[in-house]
Amino acid sequence: MARKNIKESNINIKTEKLPLKKANRISELIRNTFGLILNNAKIKVEGVENIAKTNRPIIFVVSPHNGHTDSLFVRKAMPPRVRSKMAFIAAGDYWDKDMKMKILSNIFLRTLPIDRSGGAETNNDITVKTVTQLLAGDYLVIFPEGTRSRDPNKEVKDRKFKTGIIQMLVATINALDEEQKKSNSPVIIPVYLSGAETIMPVGQSLPKFREKGTLRRKEIIINIGNPIDLLPKIEDFDDYGNRREVMRFLRSLTALLKEHFVAVQDESIDLNDDETLEPY
């Protein structure tokens, strides 16, 4: 994302058309019905109460990203009032490549495809989509690793978080006017996900919910962390004319985000011995 697009924007929020339509009862009923299959796993959810700690728009940032079912389990863990407003940011070059993929992506999830080709026009389009969707009351969901890992055993601290999530956040905040920033600047809520990599990892075509050779359900842990407000740090930075400083700034915030994830992961270790906390 070019530095000009991070700082400057010609977006008129009031005139932009909503990129992703609001969920209706029928589509949510279909998604929730398909989601029942996830009950074949033993799901533990912690930290749902953290969502209510902010009245500002939320970007859920999920890690690790290991398998095809990651997004489905994250959606399953959320209360219905949140679930119906979740928009999962997806690679447009993959999920929009043909009608079959478009239908599949929208049956199971509300996806917001974005163009990953780069360039000023493309980045501005991404900002338009994220800002208008957030201001419409939706919750965005994104995986900071950008793609599924081929090494599911790698801990969060050893994973590479791309700066894209921070670039998107900075561009979104800078697209708001001063009055909007006070109440509409997004916060990030980290969501740690463990166990989904055993259900349907890369290269596996069908989900497997039971431990091999037994009827014991595989265990999924989802821990929702506290909101992270990066607005003060973003407002303090003003060296957008220096490309090197911009990249250093983006990397520093990305590293800070990872630190929060490591803390949430450490808290999740204790959940292994807890009794199951069923999702909504």
Q: Where are the domains of the chain?
A: 3-11+24-272
Please report the pLDDT score of residue 10 as a whole number.
Answer: 47
Task: Judge: domain 3-11+24-272, CATH 3.40.50.300.
Answer: no
pLDDT above 90 covers a percentage of the chain that reads: 40
Least confident of 15-24, 47-56, 114-123: 114-123
Res 57: pLDDT:
94
Q: What's the pTM? A: 0.86
Q: How many CB atoms lie within 10 A of CB 263?
A: 15
Instruction: Identify which has the larger pLDDT, 130 or 250.
Output: 250
Residue 222 DSSP one-character state: E
- Tokens coding 84: 């119906």
- Averaged confidence pLDDT in the chain: 83
Q: Is 266 helix (H, G, I), strand (E, B) or coil?
A: helix
Least confident of 14-28, 78-92, 152-166, 262-276: 262-276
Handedness of CA 204, 207, 209, 212 (dihedral sign): negative
pLDDT value at residue 235: 92
Sheet containing strand 111-114, strands side by side: 42-46, 219-224, 187-194, 58-63, 139-142, 86-91, 111-114
- Residue 4 pLDDT grade (very low, low, confident, very high; cuts 50, 70, 90): very low
pLDDT tens by residue, 41-72? 999 999 999 999 999 999 999 998 887 889 99
Alpha helices in 58-217 (DSSP H): 70-77, 80-83, 92-95, 99-108, 120-135, 164-174, 178-184
User: Token pair of 65, please?
Assistant: 């990203």
Give the pLDDT of residue 1.
43
Write out pLDDT tens, residues 214-223: 889 999 999 9
